[in-house]
Structure 1
Amino acid sequence: MAFRLKLVPAETNIDFFRVQWLTFGLSIVLIVLSIGIVAVKGLNFGVDFLGGTTIRTESTTPVDVGAYRDALQPLDLGDVTITEVNDPGFRDDQHVAQVRIGAREGEEAVTPEVITEVEAALQAVDPAIVFAAVESVGPKVSGELIWWAIIAVTAGSVGILIYIWMRFEWQMAVGTVAAMLHDVIVTLGIWSLFGLKFDLSIVAALLTILGYSVNDTVVIFDRLRENLAKYKTMPLREMMNLTANETLSRTVMTASTTLISLIVLIVWGGDVIRGFVFAMILGVLLGTYSTLYMAKNIVLFLGVDRGDKPKKSASEFADVEA
C-alpha cells in the first residue's frame, strides 16, 4: 500500500469563527499599526528608489566596517551605508561587504570620479579587496520606479477584484481583496519596523504574494459556492466552517510545501535573493491566516444572497472560467 503523507486528519471540525472577533480584530490592529509605522518611519528604500551607487566588495581578509568608514570619511560623500554580507554559501576566505553611497545634494548621481576615489580609499585599507559589482541609479529613474511600483500593486489588486466579482459574488471579491491588502500592508509594516531594504525585488515579492493569497482564497470560495447549492438550508456560518474544513488539508499542504522551498532558498540561496524570499515567507504565512480568518469573516458580515435565482445571463459573467 502506498504511503500517503497527511498533515491534517481526513476529516476535521474546527470552528474557525469561534474567536472571530479576536482574529478579525487582530487583523485590523495589524493593518492600522503597519500603516502608522510606514507613515512615521517610512521605508528603507534601496538604490533602486533613492538613486545613488551600491558597490559590492569581496576580499580574502575579514571586513572591518569601521576602517572602511574611516577611509571614506574625508571624501565628503553623501549618505554612506556599509554592511557586511554573510552567507552560508561563502568560502571561509570570502568576505563580502556592500557599500551604498547616496548622491550628494544638488547632484544627479555619484560621478565616476567619486566611485574611483571610493575604490582607491578602500584598497588603501585592504589591498586584497576587489569590486564585484557597481550599480548606479539616478534620482529621476528612481522616482519613476516608485510610482510604477505603486501602480503595479494597485493594478494587480483591482484586476483581481474584478475577476473575483465576475467569477463569484461581489461579497467574495471584497473579502478576497481585503485579505490581499492585509497581507501586503502588514508585510510593508514589518519591512518598515525593522528597517529592511526595500527595492524592486520586494515589489516583485509583493505582487507574488497577491497571487498566492488570491489562489488560496479562490479555492475555498469555489468550494463554498458548491456548498451553497448543495446545502440550501444550512446556516451560512456553519457552511463556511464546513467549507474551510473540507479544504484545510489542501491549504496546509500548499503552504507547507511552499515554505519548505522558501526556507531552502533563504538558507542557501544567497544574499541577493534573501530579501525577496523573506517577503515571500511572510506572504505565505499571512496569506494562509487571512484566508482562514479574514476573507471568510468579511463574507459572513456582508452575507450572500442564497435565494433561488435563475441562471445568470452571459452579461452577468456567469460562465467566466478560470
Structure 2
Amino acid sequence: MVHALPSPAELDTFAETADRVRGAMESVISGRPDLVRLTVAVFLAEGHLLLEDVPGVGKTTLAKSLAKAIDCSVGRIQFTPDLLPSDLTGVSIYRQAQHEFEFRPGPVFANIVIADEINRASPKTQSALLECMQEAQTTIDGTTYQLPRPFLVVATQNPIEMEGTYALPEAQRDRFMARLSVGYPARNAEVEMLERQETADPLAAVRPVADVEMITAMVGTARRLYAAQGIKQYVVDLAEATRTDPMLRLGASPRAAIQLLRCAKALAAMSGRDHVLPDDIQDLAVPVLAHRLLPSTDARLAGHTVTESITAIVARTRLPISGRASAPDRRATAG
C-alpha cells in the first residue's frame, strides 16, 4: 500500500502536541518520564494499556492524568467480583409507554475507558471487553454498536499473587498493546510528590492540552511513518524467536507483531522522525511482548522470567542492515 509520508510540519505538530500531553501528565506523575512517554506512545498508536503493580503506586493516577490531558469522553469502571458484563457495555430497557426497548450505553462508550483493578472481576465480565478492544464495537441483544474513536482502554491490575484477583485470559492479555509497571518512585521524586500533594491534588490543576480531533489526526500521522522492509523482518524475527524459545510455552501472536510496529511508529513520531529505527523496536520489546508470553515448566523451575527470555532474544536476533532507505526509495515503497 502506497501512502504519503508525514510532512515536516505534521511531524513538528505531532511532537509538540505529544510533549504537551507528557508535560501535563508529568505535573502529576513525579520522576517517571519513561513511563509517561510509553503511555503516550501507546495512546497515539491507538492501543490499549495494562498497568500492573502493587496498590498505591499511582496506576490509577497515571490513567486519570492522561484522561484529563485530553479533551475527550472518559468512562470509569471499578471492577469487582459481582460486576456483570452489562455493567460495562450497557443494557436494553423496555419502555412500556413507547412499547419499545431503549438502549442505555455503558461506560465503554467513551474515548478513554479506565478499567480499575480489572483482574478483580470474573473472567465472564472481563470477556465483555474482548470485542470492544479488538474491533471498537460491542454487540448487545443482536445489535452492534460502534464505540467512539479514538478508543483506549487503560486497565490497572494488582499482581496475581494479591488476594481476590483472577488471572486475565490469554485472549484478553493479547489485546493490550503494552503492559507497564509503575514501580516505586525514586527518593527525590517521592519527596517532590509529597510537596505537590501536601495541600492540594495536582490532578485538579490539569487542563486539556489536546482534543479528539487532534489525537485522531496524530494517530493517522503515526500510521503513515515509514518502516523499512528490514525493520518489518526484524519484528517478525523477534516474534518467531519467542515461538521457538525452549524457555517459553506460548510465543507472540501475529497481533503482537502488528502492535509492536504500530507502537514503534508512534514512538518514532514523538521523536520527530518519519521512520522507525531498530532502537524503537528494542525499547518496546519487553512492554509489548512480555505480558503475552508464558514461561515453560523448565523456566519456572529455574526461576527464569519472561523478561529475561525477551532480553536474550533481542540480544541474539540479528539487527537489520539499515532501518532507513533513501528518501526517494521510501516515498516510492512506503506501505
Instruction: With the length of structure 2 as denominator, give the TM-score of the two structures.
Output: 0.24
Give 1 or 2: higher helix fraction: 1
Q: What TM-score do you get using the length of structure 1 for normalisation?
A: 0.24
Question: Which structure's CA Rg is the greater one?
Answer: 1
